[in-house]
Amino acid sequence: MATLYLASGSPRRRELLTQIGVPFVTQIAPIDENLLPDEAPNAYVERLALAKAQAGLELLSAAADAVVLGADTCVVLDSRILGKPADRAEAIATLSALSGREHQVLTAVALVSTSRQVARVVSSTVRFRALTRDEIEAYWATGEPQDKAGSYGIQGLAAVFVSQLQGSYSAVVGLPLCETAELLAEFAISCWQPLPVHS
Catalytic residue among 38, 72, 134, 147: 72
Q: Are 124 and 105 in contact (CB under 8 A)?
A: yes
Say which DSSP state 41 is in: H
102-to-30, 36, 47, 55, 59 alpha-carbon distances in Å? 32, 25, 25, 34, 40
Catalytic residue list contains 147: no
161-to-71, 96, 126, 168 alpha-carbon distances in Å? 25, 12, 10, 17
Helical H runs in 99-164?
133-141
- List the catalytic residues: 72
